Structure 1
Amino acid sequence: MNFSKLLCLVLVCSEPFGQVLAAEQTGETCTGTAGTTVTCKRKKDETVKLTIAGTANNPVRWKKGTTTISAQAAKYELDGDKNKILTILNLKEGDEETYTAEGTSPVEKFQVQVVDCLGGKTSEPAGLCQGKPGGSIKLGLSDDGSGTSLSWKKGTDTIAISGDKYGPVNEATLMIKNLDDADEKEFTGGPTGSEEKFSVQVADCFGATGTVQCQGKLNEALKLRISDAVSGSKVVWTKEEGVVPASSQKLGTKDEGLKFPSLAPADAGTYKATYGGNTVSFAVRIPDTKGTSESDTKKESTENGKDNSGGGGSSNSGTDQVNLDKGNGGGLSYSPALLVTVTLVHLLLQLAA
């Protein structure tokens, strides 16, 4: 490949990349730029409004990738003069795509990115990011540094590429997979001197106030955690009408988490976490894993009782069998056939007389 071809390839590949990085927005309203693709980064379950900056001579036709968006779709709202605003509701990962506003001159494009949490500058509180054990979360920079090189750190350690743990480590988003207790760290990302912070928390049940319902599974792990920032003394864990199981583990520098490595029936109950004048309750429930309800158990017990009562005895199939009726004060009871025979004999004797 000669130098001119190489230079052309570099320019073609870098142009859209530079445009995207140069125009990132994280507010609810994401405003376009004529002839440029802007990046609109928002958190899951939130809303983003793609707004055209230029003029439109005709009603704008919006496309997600190559698919035309219908105004009747429950996912979208079209507003403004000539449909210049496209609102995407309840953002999910499937909404990540390039959206094109056709009908503008020049055409405006929006690259929508969806993350679990956005970072905060080192001078601001860290962005809170919560996930469940074994799950994944996606961290996103609110400002990617306009194309400068960036990196990610877990605590003080620079994160290296790992196919089964981390996504790309040199982009404005970082996917953390297979979450575990060791991921409860402060992550930082971004260009040197302009890093953003993320406070990652991992648990099955989170709570800061009130009572949280937590359903676990027998013989499986369950982790409870304070989702608030704990300052001062450590969290005190107690159990109503009982004691905290000795098999449980307190996790975190302030005992923010309480983990049951393998749930037992006796672990069910309500646990209280007290810290800094606050109290959070976690109601731990363990459903029956045998698939047998109380009524089924009673039915089985009754059927077993019937089998046992007749065990080893012979069947009373004879028509002249006389049995002892225990329910009639120990008196004699006769089979119907024997009673008929006795009655007929009695009548014959009366006629013979």
Structure 2
Amino acid sequence: MNFSKLLCLVLVYSQQLGQVLANETPECEGKTDGNAVPCNGKKGGALKLKVKKTIASTEPDVTWEKDAALESDTKYKIDGVKNINLEIRSLDVPDEGEYKAKVSPEEKFQVKVVDCLGGTSASPAMCQGKLGGIIKLGLSDGTVDSISWKKGTGDVVAGEKYQGPVNEATLTIKDLDNDDEAKFTGGANSKEEHFSVQVADCFGGGAGKTVECNGKQGKNLKLRISGSVTGNSVTWAKEGGELPDGHDKKGTKDEGLILNSLTAPDAGTYTATYAPSVTESFTVKIAEPKASDGTTKKAPTTSGGGGGLSYSPALLVTVTLVHLLLQLAA
């Protein structure tokens, strides 16, 4: 095996290992002072709440509540010595709220569901959001004091773009656009967490995989790789042809490709090669615009005659052959 192939495999499996580690269930430990602990969990993932107090053998088992008493089932898993752990599975917005561990003193957990949990400076969390959409970033440790957020090196200021306070353990970015594709940092000095926000209409599926990307005629469509570029810029190509006129490449290393004002010839399979020989493929399909009555607009037909119906030569040949077969069978 030559060096370039070995390096490629190392990069691919390193990325997969990072994804596995990112999928580990985060833990959130309570406080014994009666204050609720902010606990962020990733949407679709799991979150474990853990009682801080050491429960004596003579004390009763911990009971858990959220509006009402909780029991182990497909949604919740209660385990550990004296039931000190509560795991919430398949996190979604309805799971947000205050959870209580009934011990003395009572411990409280304020759960929020986010799209992306923070990472390290060397391995920031990869956060993918759709153009025009919303993405919520969350600190894996929301207990730090003096929380602040930065985009690049500049401070994040509350406003229409950044919803709510910007000194809490979550940050919501609204109306995502290409300018939001940047490095974000949240937390406090020496305990900062890092996020790499990526914005596109359609993201790659990883090395050697093909994803389907649906666009609309006359609209723009942004494709983006899912990985990180460690070498030269990304090389974009279209199978069986050239990239459409007027396309734009986005990112410091051309991580994104924008197909402007889509037309029928823009449909096809696009490839992005990087790091140094990883390839992701995107099959672009283009839907025709809708008419005012909700039906799909059809491209106007042309014919050599007047205003009569127009048929393609292939259809005329087919109709003629079917007619002759029917006559022979009669």
Q: TM-score, normalised by structure 2?
A: 0.72
Q: 1:281 to 1:198 in 2, by over 3 A?
A: same
Q: What's the counterpart of residue 220 of structure 2? A: 221
Whether the 8 Å CA contact 2:160–2:174 is kept in 1: the answer is no
Distance of 1:43 and 1:86 partners within structure 2: 16
Note the residue ranges of structure 1 that are not aligned, 5 or more in a row: 1-25, 298-303, 307-326, 328-353
- How many aligned residue pairs are there? 269
Q: What's the counterpart of residue 188 of structure 1? A: 185
| Deviation (angstroms), 1:80 | 4.5
Q: Deviations over 1:95-118 (max 9, x none)?
A: 22110123x222222222322222
Query: Runs of 4+ in structure 1 displaced over 6 angstroms?
Result: none
Q: 1:288 to 1:163 in 2, by over 3 A?
A: closer
Q: What's the counterpart of residue 40 of structure 2? A: 41
Which amino acid in 2 is paired with 1:279?
A: T
Which amino acid in 1 is paired with 2:104?
A: S
Distance of 1:221 and 1:81 partners within structure 2: 56
Which amino acid in 2 is paired with 1:40?
A: C
Q: What's the counterpart of residue 119 of structure 1? A: 118
Distance of 2:101 and 2:186 partners within structure 1: 32
1:25-174 map, 5 Å: 28-36=26-34, 37-52=36-51, 53-55=53-55, 57-58=59-60, 60-64=62-66, 66-69=67-70, 71=72, 74-80=74-80, 83-102=83-102, 104-122=103-121, 124-144=122-142, 146-147=144-145, 149-174=146-171
Q: 1:236 to 1:195 in 2, by over 3 A?
A: same
Q: 1:226 to 1:89 in 2, by over 3 A?
A: same
| Deviation (angstroms), 1:186 | 1.0
Whether the 8 Å CA contact 2:144–2:188 is kept in 1: the answer is no
Q: 1:31 to 1:155 in 2, by over 3 A?
A: closer
Note the residue ranges of structure 2 that are not aligned, 5 or more in a row: 1-23, 302-307, 311-323, 325-330
Q: What's the counterpart of residue 285 of structure 2? A: 285
Q: Deviations over 1:285-317 (max 9, x none)?
A: 1134454599xx9xxxxxx769xxxxxxxxxxx
Q: What's the counterpart of residue 273 of structure 1? A: 272
Distance of 1:35 and 1:54 partners within structure 2: 14
Whether the 8 Å CA contact 2:150–2:184 is kept in 1: the answer is yes
Q: 1:130 to 1:49 in 2, by over 3 A?
A: same
| Deviation (angstroms), 1:125 | 2.0
Which amino acid in 2 is paired with 1:236?
A: T
Q: 1:28 to 1:146 in 2, by over 3 A?
A: closer
Q: Which structure is higher in helix share? A: 1
Distance of 1:100 and 1:54 partners within structure 2: 16
Q: Deviations over 1:180-215 (max 9, x none)?
A: 001111112222454332111101111132111111
Which amino acid in 2 is paired with 1:271?
A: Y
Q: SS at the partner of 1:216?
A: strand
Distance of 2:85 and 2:213 partners within structure 1: 41
Q: 1:151 to 1:33 in 2, by over 3 A?
A: closer
Whether the 8 Å CA contact 1:118–1:127 is kept in 2: the answer is yes
2:255 aligned with 1:253: no
Q: 1:292 to 1:221 in 2, by over 3 A?
A: closer
Distance of 2:263 and 2:90 partners within structure 1: 38
The farther-off stretch of 27-36 and 156-165 is 27-36
**% identical aligned pairs:** 50
Q: What's the counterpart of residue 335 of structure 1? A: none
Distance of 1:126 and 1:118 partners within structure 2: 9
Q: TM-score, normalised by structure 1?
A: 0.68
Q: SS at the partner of 1:120?
A: coil
Whether the 8 Å CA contact 1:121–1:194 is kept in 2: the answer is no
Q: Over the residues paired in the alignment, what is the CA RMSD in angstroms? A: 2.9
Which amino acid in 2 is paired with 1:231?
A: T
Q: What's the counterpart of residue 5 of structure 2? A: none
Q: What's the counterpart of residue 197 of structure 2? A: 200
Q: 1:175 to 1:240 in 2, by over 3 A?
A: same
Q: What's the counterpart of residue 7 of structure 1? A: none
Which structure's CA Rg is the greater one? 1
Distance of 1:244 and 1:136 partners within structure 2: 30
Ranked by relative contact order (alpha carbons within 8 Å, sequence separation 6 or more), the top structure is 2
Q: SS at the partner of 1:200?
A: strand
Q: 1:97 to 1:141 in 2, by over 3 A?
A: same
The farther-off stretch of 135-144 and 271-280 is 135-144
Distance of 1:77 and 1:170 partners within structure 2: 32
Distance of 2:68 and 2:210 partners within structure 1: 45
Q: SS at the partner of 1:266?
A: helix
